[in-house]
Amino acid sequence: MPAYNERERLGRSLQTIVDYARQQGWSAEIVAVDDGSSDETAEIINGLAAQYPEIRLVRNPGNRGKGYAVRNGMLNARGEILLFTDADLSSPISEAPKLFSAIARGAEVAIGSRWLDPSLQFERQPLKRQIFSRIFNLFLRVLLGLNFRDTQCGFKAFTRRASTLIFPLQRIDRWGFDAEILYIARKKGLRVTEVPVAWGHDDRSRLSPLKDGMRMGVEALKVRWNSLAGRYQA
């Protein structure tokens, strides 16, 4: 779970994950990555880690971006199946078995999708964000050949093999990293399955459709350039 200045939501989200993992009888760790927060995010994680041995704090060297935080968490994780989720749990952790089932059926990467079954959305995005999302999705289909309905949902699971192939090659540190890791997965011949999940928009989202949308477009172009330069060949 990447976290930047998440003191309002983080404690409740981590408690929810701990409770659910224990109910399911999972042998699990919960890696919370502090992305250089200026609030009490790290202290909240450490406090919960003292109560729950499942929780572990990883700290970024300053505020590096969500993509960097996800990569740092994945490279530090020890599980056989690795899942990352947003701090607001916009997709409830109870949706995780859907991704794990896809992996059990042979997928190496299982990605949550808000748009395969829109009826599962319990809180829709504002119209402006929906329009941006659809335009960006079309852009990624044309530029990178990513024929998924939803690349940006922050709810994705990986086998350990897939994680070790993808994340060491990831170069995008901010919002555009989702498209990059899916592009790398395809380059590596990994089986990627898109899974409809429940999801709800949180009004406290920090993503700016215009400013961050333009940045994500530039980052997608960088992915294409990195590919042409052979930077995903290792």
Domain at 71, CATH number: 3.90.550.10
Tally of domains within the chain: 1
**Helix, strand, or coil here: 88?**
coil
Q: Model pTM? A: 0.94
Segment 29-49 shows an average pLDDT of 98
- 89, two tokens: 């749990």
Which stretch of DSSP H or E encloses residue 103? helix 96-104
Q: Indicate whether 233 belongs to any domain.
A: no
CA distance 155 to 217: 21
pLDDT for res 126 = 80
Beta strands in 24-117 (DSSP E): 30-34, 55-59, 81-85, 109-113
CA distances from 199 to 85, 91, 108, 115 (A): 12, 4, 22, 10
Q: Indicate whether 109 belongs to any domain.
A: yes
- 174, two tokens: 């901010």
pLDDT for res 213 = 75
CA distance 17 to 12: 9
pLDDT digits (tens, 9 = 90+) for 74-96: 999 999 999 999 999 999 999 99
Q: In what order do the strands lie in the sheet with 55-59?
A: 2-3, 30-34, 55-59
Would you place residue 207 in the very low, low, confident or very high pLDDT band (cuts 50, 70, 90)? low
**Helix, strand, or coil here: 31?**
strand
Residue given tokens 């994705």 in the structure block: 156
Q: What is the dihedral of CA 79, 85, 91, 96, to 10 degrees?
A: -10
Q: Indicate whether 234 belongs to any domain.
A: no
**Domain residues for 142?**
2-228
Give the list of residues 6+ apart from residue 135 with CB closer than 8 angstroms, or none.
none
The bridge status of strand 109-113 relative to strand 155-159 is: antiparallel
Q: Indicate whether 48 belongs to any domain.
A: yes
- Categorise residue 113: left if φ over 0, alpha if ψ from -120 to 50, beta otherwise: beta
pLDDT at 202 over 80: no
Q: Indicate whether 21 belongs to any domain.
A: yes
pLDDT digits (tens, 9 = 90+) for 181-195: 999 999 999 999 999
